[in-house]
Amino acid sequence: MTERRTERLPTILVVGMQNSVHLARWINMMRGGFARFIVMPVYFASPAPELDPCLPVVSRSDVEALAPGEVGIFSLTKPEAKRVADWYADRAAGRLFPAAIGMEASPSLIQTDELVTAIRALQPDIVHTMEVQLAGYLALGAKRHLGRAMPPWLLSNWGSDIYLYHRLPQHRPVVLELVQAVDGYLAECRRDVQLVRRLGLKGHAFDPMPASGGVDFSTVPALDRLSPPSQRNTILVKGYHGWSGRGMHILSALHLAAPALHGYRIRVQFCSAAMLEMMQAMAESDGLDIAPVPYAPTHEEALARIAEARIVVGIGISDGIGTTLLEAMSYGAFPIKATTSCACEWIRNGRDGIIVDPHDVKSLAEAIVRAASDDALVDAAAPRNRACVEERWDVDRNNAAAQSIYRHMFGDARRTAMTAA
């Protein structure tokens, strides 16, 4: 009788924001018998509900004990007092990476030695960082420490990660070191693949894919079950204004467009105090039905808002694809995006959506007026956009593509092991 041999299931250590629905959706696209997924948090937060079922892990035996479909969450064991002391020591010694804009470096962020500990304890076949300025910089610190003992490293580039940050004097040297240190690079945009090659990428660049993975379109209502865009009277605004978002620019454009927007409900998500003040003034002076909407407590509610919208507007100085763009395309809402995104890789400007310079408020106002007044435009765009996302954002298609990426990285892992032996 011959002994039956079982092949060890590969382990992928995903370093990222454990409370991110995008990270959870990526893992959910893949979870099952293909590989074991372990999440290494980059800061303290409760895991996204979509990650369930998930269990804490601290060792290789914990990883091996995970049932098919269960996700591991690496348990952070460094005492809080030690983390604070280490952080201040690293800051004093100049060892901290520059902080992501809008997120001050603090002891609540996970530190390099904690990722090194996780890699040594869990023995992953691949380290996959999802996002750059927190997860990517953390892994770069680990690679500096581990050298050739670092597992093959796959970097996912989200949104503004490199397109914006490679221009900033504090970040540019780190970005240059990082793109030359990774073994595999997965972007959302073709634009960013070309950029990182110019910045010195030595690893393999995979075909771009949305950071959120894919959608099972059998669960998304067909367009004929929704109101045609021309019969919807809501303009949904992504109102972020800060390091990248330009919500105040959108409000300024709505003010210019106000005479054409009476009868529309303008609903603004993610409002600052300054935006609320401006919206109140616009409601009084322009006679617009404009109001904030609270943060949607569930993803289903957020999608319901998009399904009611004729137009979805999101403008910033830097972006990737933007999941809101893909969701608008899925539910028939007409998208207006900035030239600083890679919306041009998904929609044809003036036909399937409108793409404008984020600093050109007059052109943005003209785009909003056109989308609000041209019924034929918005109705014709809806089925084309839906067909595009059904093909390119499909969960089965992107699951297969992601498995192919991981298998390529597993090959790197085997080659590394053979070289080390």
Query: pLDDT tens digits for 388-412?
Result: 999 999 999 999 999 999 999 998 6
Question: 250 and 358, same structural domain?
Answer: yes
What is the CATH classification number for the domain harbouring 286? 3.40.50.2000
Dihedral of the alpha carbons of 185, 191, 192, 197, in degrees to the nearest 10: 70
Span 269-293, pLDDT tens digits = 999 999 999 999 999 999 999 999 9
Residue 196 has pLDDT above 70, yes or no: yes
Residues 262 and 299: their CA atoms lie apart, in Å, by: 29
* 168 shares a domain with 249: no
**DSSP codes joined into one string, 185-241:** EE-S-HHHHHHHHHTT--SEEPPP--TT--B-GGGSPPGGGS--GGG--EEEEE--B
Shared-domain flag, residues 162 and 253: no
Q: Report if residue 235 sits inside a domain.
A: yes
Does 384 lie in the same domain as 335?
yes
Same domain, 174 and 264: no
DSSP-derived secondary structure letter, 421: -
Question: Do the domain assignments include residue 132?
Answer: yes
Query: Is the same domain home to 148 and 253?
Result: no
Token pair of 217 as six digits? 């379109």
Mean of the per-residue pLDDT values of the chain: 93
159 shares a domain with 29: yes
Is pLDDT of 128 > 50? yes
Whether residue 1 lies inside any domain: the answer is: no
Q: Are residues 112 and 236 in the same domain?
A: no
User: For residue range 51-81, what is the model confidence (pLDDT) as tens digits?
Assistant: 999 999 999 999 999 998 999 999 998 988 8
Task: Tell me phi and psi for residue 211, to 5 degrees.
Answer: -65, -25
Reported as a single tens digit per residue, the pLDDT across 8-51 is: 789 999 999 999 989 999 999 998 878 999 999 999 999 999 99
Q: What is the pLDDT of residue 7?
A: 52
Is 100 found in the same domain as 73?
yes
Task: Give me the number of domains the chain comprises.
Answer: 2
Residues 148 and 227 in one domain: no
Q: What is the pLDDT of residue 4?
A: 34
What is this structure's pTM?
Answer: 0.93
- pLDDT reading at 156 higher than 70: yes
Same-domain check for residues 330 and 196 = no
Domain limits at 91? 11-214+395-420
pLDDT of residue 105: 64
Q: Terminus-to-terminus CA distance in the chain, angstroms?
A: 31
